Amino acid sequence: MQLFNEYGRCQPQNIQSLVHAQSRRYFYCEQPDTNLDEVYNRTTQALGKCELSLDDFKKQAQELLTSLESRSELQGILGGVKVPFLIPKDENLDDVGTALEKKYLGAVEKAYQSFYPKYEFKSHFKDTLEGRVDVKEGSRHQTLLDKAKKQDVVGWYFPCLTEYSVPASLEQMQYLPEDALLAGGIDLCSVFIGNPALLMNKKGYSPLLWLSALQDKKHEDGAFHFEPYGYNLNFNHRHHYNQCAEYWWGGLTFIN
Amino acid sequence: MSNTALLESEKNLTETERKKRGDLMKRKPYVAKKLANISAMEARGQVSPIIRLEKSYLCNFQCTHCSAEYYMDRHLNKTKVTDDRTKMTLDDVRELSRQADELGLARFVITGGEPLVMRDFDEVVAAIDPDKHYIISDTNGWFLDDAKAKHLKSIGVEKIQLSLDSMIEEDHDAFRNKPGSYKRAMRALDAALNADLNIILSTVLVRGRANTKEFLDFCQFCTDKGVGLYVSYAKPTGSCTEHPEFVITKEDADILRELEKEYSVFSHMTPSYGSYKGCITVKGIITVTSTNEVTPCPYIDMSIGNLRQTPLKEILERGMRNPWLGPHRPDCLIGEDQQFIDLHTRITSQYKTLPVPWGEGFSDSNTLFDK
């Protein structure tokens, strides 16, 4: 079986956790405008300067996409939504919760507000994230964090784990190529900073996107997510109880 | 209930809500504690639906958009259908109250029909037990004057949901097919406030209304009055089956979401007190019909079980494992998901009495690909 179908959905392999075998594609993301100049500018405005120049970023993003396109095992993934992102080098990533709380969520707010002055980004999570978040073993997300501590990271995000429970996303990783990383916190924040329109959908409903690679240390079945509320974007936490829903999606990132 | 859970539940309350809870705690501590426990229950993955009780469908109105029209005697008489199903008794209400309390459920809405024309309204309130449950009554306001409002408060009703379909008197009366109904609703609003009953106004959002001056005026009126405006989307069921043009678009729902920022207006999809349930089927609401059937939402005419045959706990579990009803979703299943709307219309149209029994509409073999 192909790993990805024509719509870019990662097809569940032989996994035990809950996932929909088929999707009626009721919830959907519109492909946002992936203007790399704008992604770069928004990111550097919200997260600060990076060592990569605009040209370097564009070149690396394009090369990465071309290399993904050429791989037979990834055939189909580009049929879905794909979003470029940039994470400027950040040495303070030992505690992801702190990084999200002190820097990245605020940057998402700034970028969203600037792109949509009439609408708002809100974090509805009232507790502190400090010390609250772990990286899940098997998610390969630590690879992204380790790299981001040393250098600017260029990547593409694919919200392709559609209608997977959070544990199913993790389980699916064993069937995916080694360089496919389960999306977590700072990558998803960077995705929204560069592409604030990702979940904006005026005709239908966009999905909720889990930070599937991150474990809530306080609640085994708790996880964090972004979701739209009308024209607004929310960050929140919810208990997922290992269930799956049409509305609940995870995603993969590939980095340079 | 632990102190932590109590604190968690208080965190998202407004000052006014906190005051109301404080007052309830003095008068009805058992009910107040159950209400405060709802967010902790949800955090444990338990559901805490409001129970809408439709013991009688008698009504003095004949509204254009009535979702209960097909349950009413006048409709059954018109279509020459004899309904020989077993009807709900006060003992059924007592048993439901007991089971609900055992599950930690805390809220009942007496609805109909028009509850205030029910001859046994007071007995129903007593059977639910106001010391165990927070009791709300729907009404069109026709019979709610000062004396009636004081009486309702005295027998243990805590809150009124008063329906009003337009801030324009002629439009409301026309929609309700009842001249004078706007004036009576306004009188009822003041009567409820005077009697110290909690009150929200409820109104139906039909396509395009969210963008009108009338609707903005309505939102402003409620905000100025300090009264919440509960907005129910028009659904293609009941009398509305003949008005598909009433069914809202995503744009209507999004305009409403924007208005929530400025006005005291909300729908069943609005996050409340830190709870983000989305569509509230089973998770946030159930309806018990006059034949003891449990439906997952006031507008879905397919049963998930009959309380004479199956305990409430099991019925709720059934609902939650149903792929249409259980999973979290941000939109309104019966108001916005066209595939489900078509499925519902096709199935319910084959039945002379509603709701469609468990196993014939909803069942454990449902899939999202049912057509």
> What interface predicted TM-score (ipTM) does this complex get?
0.94
Q: How many contacts (CB atoms, under 8 Å) link A and B?
A: 61
Peptide bond into B355 cis (omega under 30): yes
pLDDT digits (tens, 9 = 90+) for B67-103: 888 898 888 888 999 999 999 999 999 999 999 999 9
- pLDDT at B221 exceeding the cut of 80: yes
Look at residue B282 and give its three-state secondary structure: coil
pLDDT digits (tens, 9 = 90+) for A18-59: 999 999 999 999 999 999 999 999 999 999 999 999 999 999
Q: Which residues partner with B151 through β-bridges?
A: none
Within 13 Å, how many C-alpha atoms sit on residue B41's CB side?
17
Look at residue A164 and give its three-state secondary structure: strand
Q: What percent of chain A has pLDDT over 90?
A: 97
- pLDDT at B273 exceeding the cut of 90: no
Residue type, B361: G
User: pLDDT grade, residue B290 (50/70/90)?
Assistant: very high
Residues of B in contact with A229 (CB under 8 A): 257, 271, 330
Search chain B and give the residue with CA nearest A222: B43
Look at residue A4 and give its three-state secondary structure: strand
Helix axes B181-194 and B169-176, enclosed angle (nearest 10): 100
Q: Which residue has the higher pLDDT, B123 or B236?
A: B123
Taking an 8 Å Cβ-Cβ cutoff, which residues of chain A contact chain B?
20, 22, 24, 26, 124, 126, 201-205, 208, 221, 227-232, 236, 238-239, 241, 243-248
* Calpha distance A83→A93 (Å, rounded): 23
Q: In which element (H, E) is residue A228 found? A: strand A222-229
Helices (H), A85-164: 96-99, 105-115, 141-150
**B250–A20 CB contact, under 8 Å:** no
Q: Mean pLDDT of all residues in chain A?
A: 97
Look at residue B272 and give its three-state secondary structure: strand
Residue B13 pLDDT:
67
From A212, A157, A167, A159, select the one nearest A187 (Cα to Cα): A157
Q: How many CB atoms lie within 10 A of CB B94?
A: 14
CB A166 within 8 A of CB A242: yes
Rg of chain B over Cα atoms, rounded to whole angstroms, equals: 19
Search chain A and give the residue with CA nearest B260: A230
For the segment A123-150, the average pLDDT, to the nearest whole number, is 97
For the segment A128-146, the average pLDDT, to the nearest whole number, is 98
